[in-house]
Chain A
Amino acid sequence: MATKIRVLSVCGSGVVTSHMVANKIVDLLEEQGYDVDPDECNPSELEGYLMRGNYDFIAYSSPIGDHGDVPAFSAMGLITGMGDDEFVEQAVACLKAHGK
């Protein structure tokens, strides 16, 4: 059964780029056996989202501020398509390190 995880995708508008990224993460991690529940926000909403949600990691395409102890990875490689494998490796290694 697929492992359920929660991902927060962050971009400048909190809707357009982050939605492209979130969707790609859902697809890429599904292939790795994960069932991704994504949320999207902009950098100024980040703190509130982190307070309310329990995220396994953050993917960001705009610079983000303090994100506590939630791991965060750049999503630029997913947008350009040049870093899909690297992103998946990072994310899966992080999830496995947390027992998922």
Chain B
Amino acid sequence: MSDNLQHSLFLSKNMIFSGVDFPTRDEILNYLASQFVRQDLVKESYPAAIIEREKEFPTALAAKAFDIAIPHCASANVNVTSMAVATLAHPVGWYAMDDPTRELYPHIVFMLAIKDPKKQLEILQKIMSIIQNTELLTGIQEASSREEIFVLLDPVINR
């Protein structure tokens, strides 16, 4: 029952990671994707699918605030529509969505697990509004704990 309660939120507090510190993009992707597996939000295939998809179609973009990344993969790997947020202690090179030869340095990673994109337009619109909100992105980047980040994002994403 408590599991269901937890999973009813698109972004739960335990899927927020402040100051994630790995030397490479793939390690960051694997770490975050594994958290979804631990919570049973995705299938075992999800981490590999995320890493492969990133190689073929990268997901970093230059938002107005600073660079961010929105890794995601095919919905077949997803159990529950959900999201993870990570601020990075040391931004690493990450290729741009619109130009896989251009390296960006995301400060925040929003990893998405979307089960049925056609039915989840509202969530996609919320993510787009976050990408475009410089004040919010700056607040997330400057936050020092998952609690602080949750307080910023909960009203935007979960309501």
Contacts and interface: CB of A to CB of B under 8 A. Distances in A.
- Interface of chain A, helix or strand or loop or mixed? mixed
Interface stretch (A50-58, A78-86, A90-98): A78-86
Contacts of B72: 13, 16
A15 interface: yes
B128 A63 contact: no
A76 B98 contact: yes
Contact of B125 (A12, A20, A74, A82): A20
A32 interface: no
Interface residues of A, number: 22
Nearest to B128: A20
Interface of A: 11-13, 15-17, 19-20, 23-24, 42-43, 60-63, 74, 76, 79-82
5 contacts: A12-B53, A19-B121, A80-B131, A81-B128, A82-B64
Interface of B: 53, 56-59, 61-64, 70, 72-75, 97-100, 112, 114, 117-118, 121, 124-125, 127-128, 131-132
